[in-house]
Structure 1
């Protein structure tokens, strides 16, 4: 299935028409890519089987995620460098199709020992580096699972990796190679396969030292895989032209990143729910905006979705515009995220946890409510977006909220739009452990049964041997009883 130049151009025109109507605010590098790269747009069309509406939505969502995640600005200088240097994830050599190998050395990764948000940034770093290196050609994921066990199986990490391919990196996967997976992890991989689309499942190949040569040439395979390459890992930074950034913040202050990826400076003494009267060094005046609940968004579950809400009431005598930001915009859908309130007006902001994300990490997230006085209440979406792009010199008030989890939300997370219980990563791990323990018990019972059968067989042979010996003894005794009786008769006669 291939996209035509006409379809690519149609997708491009549809995107910019939607941007004009909806007031999209995307990274300039991504806008330039849409204008100039037919191949990038082709990938969205092929991924969605040439469905124009789905391709447009995926392209839009991808650009939105890239802007919020700060994808274009990720380098080895702003990710956790020690994670890049520990050898648990790196790029080296190519498969038989000439595609780069992104290698996960699973025995060097132990679930829970690393900061998950930093791990995600490291994965995106390698995805972006490979996009530049191979100009968007597909890559092969290589899971080196030799010498691994249950502690090395991180379901949440794997699920995030899958979500990147499904949602933001179309037509970027060549193969998934799984090298020497221990049988004890079979149950976990059955769960993982259920997360993959049908096309991706077909790309999974389980390999060992003898079969790896069918997908990775011997000179491209490490010696520990049975190949001839004696490479020893050492992280090498990417050689790129540095991007100058004159926006320097005071390092003595703590930075909290909200929504669009730009840091808002938070002084260490400020607590949650406090209204901050300073931003970027400019003096701001407080605005009378009532926020309920005042300290935290309370998330609950109705059995299908995990949601929370905030109510904003304008107690001021002037018109107020508001905007909602969050530390992890990829996790949430916030509706409406911006708007205008006349005096005494109120609005309820609904916050939805996106499908595929775990509720267990929500307690670390924060929301920021920004508000300022405006002259007119008749602002459209594009005008609101432009308003919030230029806040310097304006009277802006900030209000921070934590996230609280209700007991129902703690037990439920959302996958593909449907709720399912006990799928927090810890529950998945527990399920895998229980299945694996059951398999071990079955194997032990099987071994005991075999041992008992062998023991029974030995007893049967021993019984046969004893019976034979007993028969021989009886026969021998009987054969000697007649001469003895004859001897006794002769002796009696002589007497």
Structure 2
């Protein structure tokens, strides 16, 4: 189903509708956890995610409600709120079959799944499902503004390692129960015997979600990952090797500090979260401790992202011979607010979030400040004489918000304006005009959007704004990134919004798809038998070679005798 153009006010209304309906109709349901019902009422971002994802695929408020109810029932039946580290099979940790490490170029955290180490056994499959659910839940709680990408390492794997039920379960987590959380799905060095299986997996995804899949090889992995974010196995410079339990470095220190807290995870939840936040900061900043700066007020687990390293600003009067610049140390910054907080380029700031507490002091941040549309990409059409984009910024807070836009190629774009102030609950449209002679010049360009809250009595002249941005603490700046994309058709199949959303339709419930699944599974069973026979033939071949060698030796001995 195609993604529709969304009205931000309507999404907010549906999110409020979800809270109200859950409160009135489901507050005493036995198949829902009371803690989740409370979360629906207090964590506005949580209901916002369900409303936005379902509406983006053509659903209405009732479809969004159905999706939320299903998710709450799933959480209750699987005891998600009560999952602890003690419930995880430590053998999975020792094997290293699944682990987090680094980020991709879009800022999504990467979780590696080593397919070759998994065998399709029901008990192990259930254990791995529980581990995946536990990890995703903790990541969503600790880092609600960070996306997660899956890196499925299929190298040296065969069809016997391909657990369709496990993959389907993991996809359903992102598609139905953790909306707007998925970054990309990387499939690394997939052997041909898995083609049939992946054709089924693709059928479970919408066109937009399939657009997030990346089939990569070792020679192409650099298109999606910085070199220092990859270990030597994948051709990178990161010397890290998986080890459990880790006994050195930050990983070892973090484990030694967190293991005692995990013995009573529920009571130590806040301490664990603080420790995880500290260790992530130290990992991303070369081991340095977080600065002793008073943290902004955070509501509903929404975290504030610090400012990036200095980059050239986009100015209309800059000459056309300016050299292209790059965002420096992007990998070493605190996490970028992912695309569920929509971002813009030039002059805009972030998008997506929730109503703010009116009693909050004006100098404190609560949640996100701006809603930005489009969320992740700027789409420039080759058919337009002067390619351009419009970005709509909506101030979601009760305070003034100042925004600032930067780009890697100031000479390629004209942004009107690139800095400004938006009134409380107000909207602002930013125009971005492409000035590049060849659109291919902008395919690698990116935009960075920064926003910060202003006091009600702040002056908003150009001089005052420049001074404010020079002196504001980096911890109080929200940021997001957009990349540029070129389209040959104005009626492009994938809209900018669609590329961000995951279709929540149950494709595999269609009878025709069920027939296809049955056929492919039969083919899969045949492939497994072929693999088994191939293994037997290899052993027979080795035995024949060995016997031939022995016969040769015996013949030589007999001839010499």
**TM (normalized to structure 1)?**
0.49
Q: Identify, as 1 or 2, the structure richer in strand.
A: 1
| Bigger relative contact order, structure 1 or 2 (CA pairs below 8 A, ≥6 apart) | 2
